[in-house]
Amino acid sequence: MTTHTLRSKRRRSALRNAAFMSPWLIGFSFFFAYPMVSTVYFSFTSYDGFGAPAFNGPANWTYVFRDYPMFWPSLWNTLWLVLVVVTCRVVFGLGIGLLITKIKTGTGVFRTLFYLPYLAPPVAATLAFVFLLNPGTGPVNAILGDFGLPTPGWFNDASWSKPALTMLAVWGIGDLMVIFMASLLDVPAEQYEAAELDGASAWQKFRFVTLPNISPIVLFAVVTGVIQAMQYYTQPLVAGKVASGVIGGSGQSFEPGYPDKSTLTLPQLVYNLGFQRFDYGAACVVALVLFALAMAFTALLMRGRNNLISASD
Amino acid sequence: MRTSRLTTTAVAVAAISVLATACTGQSEAGASDDPDAKTTINFWHGWSAPAEVKAVQDNIDRFEKAHPNITVKVSGNINDDKLNQALRAGGSDGPDVVSSFTTANVGKFCSSGAFTDLKPFIEKSKLDLEKTFPKVLLDYTQFEGKRCALPLLTDAYGLYYNKDAFEKAGITAPPKTMSELTEVAEKLTVEKGDTYQQLGFMPNFHGYETVVSHYMPSWDHAYFDENGKSNIAEDPAFAKMFTYQKKLVDSLGGYDRLEKFRGTFGDEWGAKHPFHTGQVAMQLDGEWRLGMAEDAGVDFEVGVAPMPVADDEADSYGKGYLSGTIVGIAPASKKQNAAWELVKFMTTDTEAVVNFSNGIRNVPSTLEALKSPDLKFDPRFQTFLDIAQHPKSSTSDGAVNGATYQLTLQDFGYQYEKGAVKDLQAGLEKTAKQIDTDIAKAK
């Protein structure tokens, strides 16, 4: 075979491969690469969405990191929610999945009951929680008061608003429960039998049989949970608005992140800066920070995955 | 080879970036459409209540009758966020005529080009704005000399009071000064355990309309100095207002107790508003509350008065905060001349303004309409007509970044009223610095 024929064959092969990959390549270029490059570019410009962008160097970056008073509180809130909400959702999702796979009767009923909240629209669910946890008129505090227990301010108290949001997130745990149930039912029964013959306790069976088998699912739940928590927008925004007394009425101003910026998250800043203040440049900086955080968390988790899975093996 | 690839990549990135800028809504210069040609224009507004939507449609019907060649497609319940996206996107389905309730955003709309400059249209129509609109309304619809909007009805803010509660407490007249407001609010407050059976006045900044910008007209003030720098730390009016408000909060039971009580309030726009239910006996609010209280069927007599003024400004009693709906033309509209016909009709035609005012129950926005015998209103509404015409009534100044400076100041107010900031002057100085930084960033 001549060199020319070989080259021609390789070129044809490369073209064929590219043709097969083209749907992905087109999607990647238009929906990831192009927005990504644009976001980086806009972060170095003064751009209001109406006129042409004008290069302004690192001005947006210094503004966001040094002069924008909402950035650091919202970064802290986002990290808090990532750590606490993801942990709680995975622990409770797995716990409920374990319980439901163990019970003998009424499995269908419980499965439905725990799954239903996941189907509730986020705005409706948040409104219901704000109503239930209203410190003045809500039934939760009325019951707590009847038992002589402390009655927190929930969404009206900066130290309780994030725990209240966590409760809301844990309430809608149906998605994780279903995934964990499927993986738990997939664990080979003979491994449990062998562990029982060896005299393993319930905890030892969970630690040395269940967990190693479901560790890829746990990793999946954590990685997707982290990304979801980074994008947490609707629930904190609605909770903050409603609890601060602003429900409707165009033109009304409200305290972002009420109370005391405690429900302010990075996605809210992207919206506020870009779409309300017409400052695309600064909004792009916050979006890139979110992207970098999501990448860092995912890289850490993927690195930890090998240890987790190898330790399990 | 490697360098060549890098260069190609850099060029591709630059090309993509240029494309990105080309894909956004850009303003069109000038208007060339024939306003007498048969055409359809889109009008986007923010009203949503059925009675309001009907009033808008009635107004549009009157316009279409007067301009049979122009058909208007109306879209309601549009807030500023939706409006901003539509103005950026442009397109044939986008709005031609746009309105907003947020007068504070006019600075942003005008400076960014989100709203078209109306000067050429006004000159072409030979409109004398000074003879048509009250001065405050003309001020809040332009920014640094660029007129990108016109006023479409006005909101005037005053003090609502429960006449039955006043009578029961032996109070014969509404308060006229801020000291009297404190005195009356204390007298009207009826405690019940650690909460209230009736609160005289909800002073907290989260108490619906009791925000910084609505309190401020009671003190003669200026948000910015002649150089456009924040004046809040220099003008003593701001420190006086915050000091007064904090004292009122403390005298009525303290921040925590009031906030807990606020948690029991119904929606501001619903029948369970705390003034309707009798939970609060006085309320700073706009002229619309009169109609809303009527619709809610309150079981007491509602009184209205101008908001009390600072003790040393008693001679200016009668003034108040003004704002209102603004209307303009989308820069991407291909039918700007037809759109101008609608803007001109809705904002300057006395009959249209009067009828619309009667329908929406807002204060009319032209000098002639304010004096029109065709205005159908409850006699108490006269208070708001007077506030609208008071020479010392004021509104918040415009800024290049819209209402951002107000939100920053408001945010300081939340911290101060709850006692998180102890040093008022230092707090105001820090807030002024932040306002200047934000404005410099937006320029």
Q: Residue B149 corresponds to which amino acid?
A: A
Distance CA(B68)–CA(B342), nearest Å, equals: 12
pLDDT of residue A306: 66
- Report DSSP state, residue B304: E
Which of B11, B13, B16 has the most A C-beta neighbours within 10 Å, making it the best mutation to test the interface with A? B16
Decide if B421 is inside a domain. yes
As a whole number, mean pLDDT of residues B113-133 equals 94
Distance CA(B401)–CA(B443), nearest Å, equals: 8
CA distance B183 to chain A (A): 26
Task: Using a CB–CB cutoff of 8 Å, tell me whether B427 touches chain A.
Answer: no
Residues B252 and B125 in one domain: no
How confident is the model over B62-73, as pLDDT tens digits?
999 999 999 999
Decide if B335 is inside a domain. yes
Q: Is the pLDDT of residue B22 over 70?
A: no
pLDDT of residue B360: 86
Question: Residue B104's beta-bridge partner residues?
Answer: none
Q: How many domains does chain B have?
A: 2
**Closest CB to B85 among A59, A63, A275:** A275
Cis, bond preceding A259 (omega within 30 deg of 0): yes
Long-range contacts from B120-125, C-beta under 8 angstroms, 24+ separation: B120/B30, B120/B31, B121/B31, B121/B329, B121/B336, B121/B337, B121/B340, B121/B343, B121/B344, B122/B147, B125/B340, B125/B344
Q: Which domain CATH number covers B294?
A: 3.40.190.10
Domain boundary among B389, B408, B434: B389
Long-range contacts from A198-202, C-beta under 8 angstroms, 24+ separation: none
Residues B50 and B142 in one domain: yes
Decide if B241 is inside a domain. yes
Task: Using a CB–CB cutoff of 8 Å, tell me whether A65 touches chain B.
Answer: no
Distance CA(A176)–CA(A121), nearest Å, equals: 17
The secondary element (H helix, E strand) that includes residue B325 is: strand B322-329
pLDDT of residue B152: 94
List, in order of start, the domains of chain A with CATH numbers: 3-59 (no CATH), 69-312 (1.10.3720.10)
Mean pLDDT of the residues in chain B: 89
Task: Using a CB–CB cutoff of 8 Å, tell me whether B16 touches chain A.
Answer: yes
Q: Which residue of A has its CA nearest to B206?
A: A244
pLDDT in tens, chain A (313 residues): 567 788 888 899 999 999 999 999 999 999 999 999 999 999 999 998 888 899 999 999 999 999 999 999 999 999 999 999 999 999 999 999 999 998 888 888 989 999 999 999 999 999 999 999 988 788 999 999 999 998 898 998 899 999 999 999 999 999 999 999 999 999 999 999 999 999 999 999 999 999 999 999 999 999 999 999 999 999 999 999 888 877 554 455 677 888 889 999 999 999 989 988 889 999 999 999 999 999 999 888 888 776 655 555 5
As a whole number, mean pLDDT of residues B415-437 equals 96
pLDDT of residue A248: 52
Residues B214 and B187 in one domain: yes
Residues B338 and B311 in one domain: no
Task: Using a CB–CB cutoff of 8 Å, tell me whether A63 touches chain B.
Answer: yes
User: Inter-chain contact B265–A245, Cβ cutoff 8 Å?
Assistant: yes
- What residue numbers bound the domain in which B339 lies? 39-155+322-389
Q: Is the pLDDT of residue B136 over 80?
A: yes
CA distance A273 to chain B (A): 10
How confident is the model over B200-250, as pLDDT tens digits?
999 999 888 999 999 999 999 999 999 999 999 999 999 999 999 999 999
Q: Is the pLDDT of residue B198 over 50?
A: yes
Residues B133 and B200 in one domain: no
- Judged on CB neighbours under 10 Å (0-12, 13-18, 19+), A12 is exposed
Residues B171 and B299 in one domain: yes
CA distance A183 to chain B (A): 43
Decide if B206 is inside a domain. yes
Decide if B32 is inside a domain. no
Task: Using a CB–CB cutoff of 8 Å, tell me whether B410 touches chain A.
Answer: yes
User: Inter-chain contact B263–A136, Cβ cutoff 8 Å?
Assistant: yes
User: Inter-chain contact A275–B81, Cβ cutoff 8 Å?
Assistant: yes
Decide if B82 is inside a domain. yes
How confident is the model over B31-52, as pLDDT tens digits?
778 878 899 999 999 988 888 8
pLDDT of residue A197: 93
Whole-model pTM: value is 0.83
User: Inter-chain contact A48–B112, Cβ cutoff 8 Å?
Assistant: yes
Task: Using a CB–CB cutoff of 8 Å, tell me whether B9 touches chain A.
Answer: no
Residues B146 and B229 in one domain: no
Residues B267 and B380 in one domain: no
ipTM: 0.80
Domain boundary among B389, B414, B431: B389
pLDDT of residue B15: 41
How confident is the model over B302-318, as pLDDT tens digits?
999 999 999 999 999 99
pLDDT of residue A308: 57
How confident is the model over B335-363, as pLDDT tens digits?
999 999 999 999 999 999 999 999 888 89
Alpha carbon A132 to its chain's center: 24
List, in order, residues 6 or more apart from A203 with CB less than 8 Å away: none
Confidence of residue B90 (pLDDT cuts 50, 70, 90): confident
Neighbour count for residue B62 (Cβ, 10 Å):
17
